[in-house]
Amino acid sequence: MCGIVGYIGHREAFPIIIEGLKRLEYRGYDSAGIALYDGKDLKVCKAKGKVADLEARVDSEITKNGTIGIGHTRWATHGVPNDVNAHPHSSNSGDLVIIHNGIIENYVSLKKELSKRGYIFKSDTDTEVLINLIEDIKLKENLKLGKAVQVALNQVVGAYAIAVFDKKKPDEIVIAKLGSPLAVGVGDNEFFIASDASPFIEYTKNAIYLEDEEMAIVRINKPIKIRKIKDDSLVDPYIQELQMNLEQIEKGGYDHFMLKEIYEQPDAIRDTYRGRLLVKEGIIRMAGIDDNIEKFINADRIIIVACGTSWHAGLVAEYIFEDIARIPVEVEYASEFRYRNPVITKKDVVIAISQSGETADTLAAIKLAKANGAFVFGVCNVVGSTIARETHAGAYTHAGPEIGVASTKAFTTQITLLTLIALKLAKVKGEISNSDYRYHLQELELIPEKVAKALKSEDHIKMIAEKYKNAKNFLYLGRGYNFPVALEGALKLKEISYIHAEGYPAAEMKHGPIALIDENMPVVVIATKKGHYEKVVSNIEEIKARQGKIIGIVTEGDENVKSLADYVIEVPESLESLSPLLTTIPLQLLSYHIAVMLNRNVDQPRNLAKSVTVE
């Protein structure tokens, strides 16, 4: 899981690559490197740490000239993060350099063979094995670089997006993809290569997304040639016009991407239902569902597979699908599902939820479901991502790029989309009355302005964050639709503040976690008016009796919980099924402010990366 950038053309490559790597740091940020060709020589510079550390080192170590180059920002898989393991990796002769996002699974056996043939390895990486394999094949069989890459990749097991450069043939870069994303920006006699389009968006809006098992050679002043790695057949390049602009991927005046993305939620939710939720007409229109309605209606059950925050969105969906559409639902961690020999039949519909569309476990779960004949529907944010392409049909959340590692707007837009699907199915199946259906549509349309209202509590939440920022543990409780929100609140706090937190169904507290409660334990309790309110209030009383500190997430105007809790944060009233879209907001802001007060790296928390493309 890394970010790669390359450039070949008439501009200075260095600023394009460095700026591009900064935009891709969400993919990994433990070390970075660059290789530049200045017309005569190839210079490589690498540094442990962030792209800014690399930038500083380049200044003192190499000249920045050259109109061809490749760069990499790393999230370690093989070998600790250090200068040597950072990419680009050079071949033994020093002629070839490579950048790689992915994993070469059979690198140990390949390395053994190459060692026998005299190759020496400086790093612990699988990537250095690949570049030497390419060199070995090239020299042994006297092949051009493109052909040598192709032969090598046919011997490799694993996943990759690579860019390879040969200083003896300095007018081309060879690229290839299997399982990791790779976009090519097509400019005027120039090409940009990147893990996503953000590094080249200000230079060109024309992009080609390589498909799995495709490779290409990009050359100065020549059209791109794409081939299938396996059978060498030529593929017509499909150039698409990008809709994304640079402003969308910058911080837009906020201190952190996470805060920007929290504040983008009213618009993001609107974008999710735009053109789909037609309140006046009383229609929900979604091509991916409309075209496959029989599959959903006749399904024995829906199985939802996802990881992390997306799994929490799946749990919310379970409540709404069963409650409103009366379809049985199972929600599975993709990582468990893929290995536990699950019973899957042709009458199952599998919904895979993934912001990035690249999560390895979710992808494997999809492949398993497809192999067993299930219909697989994808709910992704990243357009053209692997999961979006691997599923039979799907719908995008249209939340826009999510750069902060901690998922925020992805969660609320996933819930919005899944709610639309549940309502549509409920209507088609005749499980919901006309008036109830209409009421749901109206209420859903109002959610963005209610989210905007919930965001107004930020200063109050900041004050609460100040109060509890030094707590060692937090407990989050919720019931019904808001149980998954409790899980999500706890995950948000853990991942960005490093404070231990647990989410629980409120009624389960008495079966164990109540033993943790004392005067040092802040307990965040979601107690909105419509969902099991009295029962949750009883739980609050139990916490109070044990001197726990209570932060209540309540419906506007609730005086009852206010009189019991240490603090309350109000959210606007809504339907219970839509309340997760509102109760999530204060939990995101609470974690954010605690993390900022503790000086954490909010957008890039330690040990994490934005898309988990390895098991």
Residue 272 interacting with ligand F6R (CB under 6 A):
no
Task: Please state the closest distance from residue 190 (CB atom) to ligand F6R, in A.
Answer: 31
Q: In the range 459-518, which residues lie near ligand F6R by CB under 6 A?
A: 491, 495
Task: Please state the closest distance from residue 313 (CB atom) to ligand F6R, in A.
Answer: 8
* CA pair distance 317, 322, nearest whole angstrom: 8
Task: Please state the closest distance from residue 282 (CB atom) to ligand F6R, in A.
Answer: 32
Residue whose structure tokens are 């993060």: 81
Residue among 142, 172, 193 at smallest CA distance from 20? 193
**Residue 572 in contact with residue 450, Cβ under 8 Å?**
yes
Residue 588 interacting with ligand F6R (CB under 6 A):
no
Residue count (the chain): 615
Residue 307 interacting with ligand F6R (CB under 6 A):
yes
Residue 611 interacting with ligand F6R (CB under 6 A):
yes
Amino acid letter, 571: V
Task: Please state the closest distance from residue 484 (CB atom) to ligand F6R, in A.
Answer: 13
Mark whether 2 is an active-site residue: yes
Q: Concatenated DSSP letters for 493-511?
A: HHHHH--EEEEEEGGGGGG
Stretches 43-51, 196-204, 306-314, 460-468: which one binds ligand F6R (CB under 6 A)? Answer: 306-314
Residue nearest to ligand F6R (CB): 308
Beta bridge partners of 100: 162
Stretches 274-282, 302-310, 463-471, 507-515: which one binds ligand F6R (CB under 6 A)? Answer: 302-310
**And the tokens for 374?**
């299930």
Residue 457 interacting with ligand F6R (CB under 6 A):
no
* For ligand F6R, the closer CB: 307 or 602: 307
Residue 181 interacting with ligand F6R (CB under 6 A):
no
Q: In the range 225-264, which residues lie near ligand F6R by CB under 6 A?
A: none
**Residue 454 in contact with residue 445, Cβ under 8 Å?**
no
Q: Among 85, 123, 310, 386, indicate the residue that binds ligand F6R (CB under 6 A).
A: 310
* For ligand F6R, the closer CB: 1 or 324: 1
Number of residues in contact with ligand F6R under rule CB under 6 A: 15
Mark whether 380 is an active-site residue: no
* CA pair distance 568, 304, nearest whole angstrom: 33
Beta bridge partners of 490: none
Q: Dmax of the chain from CA atoms? A: 81
- Cβ burial of 72 (10 Å; 0-12, 13-18, 19+) is buried
Task: Please state the closest distance from residue 560 (CB atom) to ligand F6R, in A.
Answer: 32
Task: Please state the closest distance from residue 408 (CB atom) to ligand F6R, in A.
Answer: 8
Beta strand 206-209 pairing with 522-527: unpaired
- Cβ burial of 434 (10 Å; 0-12, 13-18, 19+) is exposed
Amino acid letter, 12: E
* For ligand F6R, the closer CB: 2 or 216: 2
**And the tokens for 19?**
């700026």
Beta bridge partners of 33: 46, 72
Q: In the range 339-398, which residues lie near ligand F6R by CB under 6 A?
A: 354-356, 359, 362
Q: Among 91, 407, 497, 591, indicate the residue that binds ligand F6R (CB under 6 A).
A: 407
Catalytic residues: 2, 610
Residues of the shown chain interacting with ligand F6R in the complex, contacts defined by CB under 6 A: 307-310, 354-356, 359, 362, 406-407, 491, 495, 611-612
